[in-house]
Amino acid sequence: MTEKRSEEFRLREGLGIAGFVITLVGAGAVLVFVLGAWKAFVRNTAPTVLDLPGGPWTFGILCGLISVFGVFSGHRLLMAGPYAEARIPRVARSAATAVCWGGALASLSYVLGSLPGRNCPSYRACAYIPGTGSALIAYAGTTAVVGWLVHRVSNTRVEKRRALERERVRKMRKKGKGKSRAAARRG
């Protein structure tokens, strides 16, 4: 009886491992296909996008702003609200967070994807696209400057809120409505 259970367990375990490996290989193939399709999309559309009014500098700045505010908004959405809320608002907030971070990642990968590849044969359409270097510089500068500014402003707001809370607690203690440190330690 125990030998039969042991054989069933080994069979089930082997099928589970085989299923995991097949799933992993399939996910890898899908990932390679999606990345290749994205690279082809970027290489085909980048010349048109970089020739729009304003040129590559404007495009790089726009992508930098999308990245910074996408990451900032995604982080705020992730940290907002209680975790014990209803399922629909929680799912909506998770979807909005994914959209924000996805937009930030897509703009970065579009700028990087427009650059020529290293091991690219000359007969393929992967030569240098004029303006990609300028777009990359504008993207990097925008994300650095605007990201630093957003970080500073958000930290200033947090510090201001903390100072107001400390002042409120201090006033309550002064009036005798707040617990002293000794009373707070006792329970």
Average pLDDT over residues 123-127: 63
Residue 8 has pLDDT above 80, yes or no: no
C-alpha–C-alpha distance, residues 104 and 70, integer Å:
5
C-alpha–C-alpha distance, residues 48 and 173, integer Å:
65
Classify the C-alpha dihedral 149-155-159-161 as positive or negative: positive
Record the pTM.
0.71
SS3 call for 119: coil
What is the DSSP annotation of 53-76? TTHHHHHHHHHHHHHHHHHHHHHH
**Model confidence pLDDT, tens digit, residues 34-54:** 988 888 888 888 888 888 888
Confidence of residue 103 (pLDDT cuts 50, 70, 90): very high
Classify the C-alpha dihedral 165-170-173-177 as positive or negative: negative
Least confident of 81-85, 109-113, 127-131: 81-85
In terms of pLDDT, which residue wins out, 89 or 107?
107
**What does the domain layout of the chain look like in residue ranges?**
1-51, 54-119+126-186
**Model confidence pLDDT, tens digit, residues 137-161:** 999 999 999 999 999 998 999 899 9
SS3 call for 120: coil
Residues in the chain: 187
CB-based burial, 139-149: b 16+ in 10 Å, e otherwise: beebbeebbee
